[in-house]
């Protein structure tokens, strides 16, 4: 019986990770075959971000029961957890890394996860697409915090000026946030959207994750690691092992279970956000280190996420 229990947990953990690996592998194959140019990938990435994610957020919130999925305790813990990780990274990283161009990149790699692109699919793979509303609602909380803190870190270490209002305006204009706001307003106001309109929005929402992960796989670029191997290893260790170990243990102690806990795995256990590479490029950070952080944490996370899920499923947390 114990062996059957362990085997079922193993299969469940594997089922949560294999779809991500397969979709990213398809993207890597597309890149290898050169079926899409870098410019075409950029255009597709922009379309997914501006259209697909907006539809996903709108559809997920509009079609859910707000009373059943609203989790103030989860939202508070997620937001505070990100702030705590960011604060500790801002205090510790400057003490061990002398190069300002790398300091902001390392801080961003440690606190900012790929929650939207890889975290939400994990929840869907475990609990089903119909149960991702809790996770998608967390996007509206976590993504704005990520954006503000990332700009603060990168500006701080390049000696720039941190301007909060332009960042907040940019956050409000984020297609995911706009989709979430529109979905919540329509739901609260009781606006009925005709099925012929809602159905294609739902179809786009369902295609968001597969298309986004394929593009992610096709966008990977390996850079030289010779000059920043120690920084890369530290970033990988912090992002994939240290942060999830501390935050998820704390979450267990505070009583989080079930889909709420898996949502926290999605926030704290997923790899570096893809956008961190572009931000490092634009804001004077070490873009090669940032790119390698994204590539290596994304590749290794398939193994570490599997281990976290298997561990916590085996001890009965969800």
Burial class (CB in 10 A: 0-12, 13-18, 19+), 255: exposed
pLDDT tens, 133-163? Answer: 888 889 888 988 998 899 899 988 887 677 7
- 130 within 8 A of 73, measured Cβ to Cβ: no
pLDDT tens, 232-265? Answer: 999 999 999 999 999 999 999 999 999 999 999 9
Q: What is the pLDDT of residue 244?
A: 97
Q: Label residues 8-20 b or e (16+ Cβ within 10 Å = b).
A: ebeebbeebbebb
CA-to-CA separations, 237 to 166, 198, 271, 278, 289, in angstroms, rounded = 33, 43, 11, 22, 14
Tokens of 91: 């205090």
Identify which of 165, 148, 141, 172 has the alpha carbon closest to the alpha carbon of residue 279: 148
Tokens of 222: 């390996």
Rounded (5°) CA angle 259-295-110: 60
Q: What is the pLDDT of residue 2?
A: 66
pLDDT tens, 206-227? Answer: 898 899 889 888 888 777 788 8
Q: Is the pLDDT of residue 4 over 80?
A: no
Q: In the chain, what are the helix, strand and coil shares in percent, each to the nearest 5?
A: 80, 0, 15
Whether the pTM exceeds 0.75: the reply is yes
DSSP string of 100-147?
A: HHHHHHHHHHHH-B-IIIIIHHHHHHHH-GGG-HHHHHHHHHHHHHHH
Q: What is the pLDDT of residue 168?
A: 76
User: What value does the mean pLDDT take over residues 280-302?
Assistant: 89
Q: Is the pLDDT of residue 130 over 80?
A: no
Report the percent of the chain where pLDDT is more than 90: 50
């Amino acid at each position: 019986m114990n062996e059957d229990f362990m085997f079922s947990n193993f299969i469940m953990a594997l089922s949560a990770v294999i779809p991500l690996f397969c979709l990213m592998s398809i993207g890597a194959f597309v890149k290898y075959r050169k079926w899409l140019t870098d410019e075409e990938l950029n255009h597709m990435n922009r379309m997914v971000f501006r259209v697909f994610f907006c539809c996903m957020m709108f559809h997920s919130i509009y079609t859910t029961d707000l009373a059943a999925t609203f989790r103030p305790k989860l939202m508070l813990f997620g937001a505070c957890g990100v702030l705590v990780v960011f604060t500790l990274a801002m205090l510790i990283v400057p003490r061990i890394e002398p190069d300002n161009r790398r300091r902001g990149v390392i801080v961003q790699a440690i606190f900012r996860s790929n929650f939207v692109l890889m975290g939400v699919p994990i929840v869907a793979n475990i609990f089903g697409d119909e149960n991702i509303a809790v996770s998608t609602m967390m996007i509206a909380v976590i993504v704005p915090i990520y954006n503000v803190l990332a700009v603060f870190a990168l500006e701080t270490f390049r000696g720039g000026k941190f301007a909060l209002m332009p960042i907040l305006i940019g956050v409000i204009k984020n297609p995911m946030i706009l989709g979430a706001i529109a979905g919540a307003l329509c739901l609260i106001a009781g606006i009925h959207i005709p099925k012929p309109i809602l159905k294609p929005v739902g179809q786009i929402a369902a295609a968001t994750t597969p298309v986004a992960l394929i593009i992610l796989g096709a966008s990977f670029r390996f850079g030289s690691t010779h000059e920043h191997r120690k920084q890369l290893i530290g970033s990988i260790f912090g992002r994939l092992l240290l942060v999830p170990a501390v935050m998820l243990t704390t979450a267990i102690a505070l009583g989080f279970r079930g889909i709420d806990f898996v949502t926290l795995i999605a926030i704290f256990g997923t790899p570096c956000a893809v956008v961190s590479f572009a931000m490092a490029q634009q804001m004077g950070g070490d873009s090669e280190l940032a790119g390698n952080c994204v590539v290596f944490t994304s590749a290794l996370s398939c193994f570490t996420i599997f281990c976290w899920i298997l561990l916590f499923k085996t001890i009965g947390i969800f």
